[in-house]
Amino acid sequence: MTAHSPAGYVAEGFSFTECPRYRDGRLWFVDMHLNRVVSVRADGSDRRTLEVASSPGGIGWLPDGRLLVVLMQERKIVRLEGNEFVVHADLSDVVATTLNDLAVDSTGRCYVGETGFDPHIFFTTAEDIEKVCRAEIVPPATSRIFSIEPDGEYREVASGLAFSNGIVVDETRKYLFVAESFGARLSRFDLGAGGDLSGRKELPFDFAPDGIGMDRWGSVWVSDVFGCAAVRFDAEGSEIERLRFDQLVLACAAGGEHGNQLYLCASPSLDSAECLRLRASRIEVRTIAAPAPHAR
């Protein structure tokens, strides 16, 4: 099912919104090009901003509520202690490029992906973008996922990914999903009790995914950047529905008081200079419902 959703904005005027998360009545996200972590109430009011040292990626929380933020270029995860950020895990010795998205489980263990290479050189022409969406470009390097314990100790738990992007953990079904932007697919891993990933299953589709999120019904929402859409899949990779938008869709997260709101990070451009000039990136919101029984 495909729908073009009516406009609904929670917040706007940003350079490049990414990595949305809903927690305790507030929507959190990052503004990558302005080095900020932002939170607002579900209606967009009471905007609050935290400054970080460099471009932020994925965010999450330890069980006691302390905020974790990926610093992409620094290849570190930092932790908010009081009013300042301290290093939670430093992966700069083992990651040569940048870190990307982050997911934290209920024990405080987190999973972070590396990019492996700069993707923007492949987005210069429409033909190149089409090739990326069809997984026809062989990436110059593969990427990995690392597991980080609550004390900051880390280890590699997955490799061979075609540009690791959005990550979500499904603790009910014991899965970890990761979007592979240059593989045009999700990969689903079995999640072990000690943080190990095994039993990888590739779930292909026809676009290059970015951020992903899971809703209260266990569906995985995947951002189709160049298709300006958010696409809903079941755990086996079958498409359930597709919502279309007017801007590039970078990431998505489900939340709201009743768990039936889908928040989306949208931008008119991927060019950082243009994004900084326009300040037109925004957070959109749509109401979602349980998938039809036959679609699960």
- What is d(CA 207, CA 26) in angstroms, rounded to the nearest whole number? 30
Strands 261-267 and 248-255, sheet pairing:
antiparallel
> How many CA atoms within 13 Å lie on the side-chain side of 228?
11
Read off the pLDDT band of 3 (50, 70, 90): very low
Instruction: Tell me how far apart the 2 most distant CA atoms of the chain are, in Å.
Output: 49
Read off the pLDDT band of 6 (50, 70, 90): very low
- What is d(CA 56, CA 77) in angstroms, rounded to the nearest whole number? 9
Domains of the chain: residue spans and CATH: 8-287 (2.120.10.30)
- Annotate 205-225 with three-state secondary structure: CCCCEEEEEECCCCCEEEEEC
Residue 180 — left, alpha, or beta (φ > 0 → left; ψ -120 to 50 → alpha)? beta
Read off the pLDDT band of 36 (50, 70, 90): very high
- What is d(CA 282, CA 296) in angstroms, rounded to the nearest whole number? 30
Q: Are 74 and 92 in contact (CB under 8 A)?
A: yes
Residue type, 265: C
User: What is each CA distance from 4 to 30, 43, 91, 205, 285, in whole angstroms?
Assistant: 26, 22, 41, 20, 13
Dump pLDDT digits (tens) for 154-208: 999 999 999 999 999 999 999 999 999 999 999 999 999 899 999 999 999 999 9
Averaged pLDDT score across all residues of the chain: 95
Match 């992966």 to its residue by tokens: 91
For residue 293, how many other CB atoms are within 10 A of its CB? 6
Q: Are 220 and 230 in contact (CB under 8 A)?
A: no
- Average pLDDT, stretch 51-76? 98
Per-residue pLDDT, 122: 82
Per-residue pLDDT, 7: 53
Give DSSP secondary structure letters for 114-141: E--S-GGGG-SSHHHHHHHHTT-SPPSS
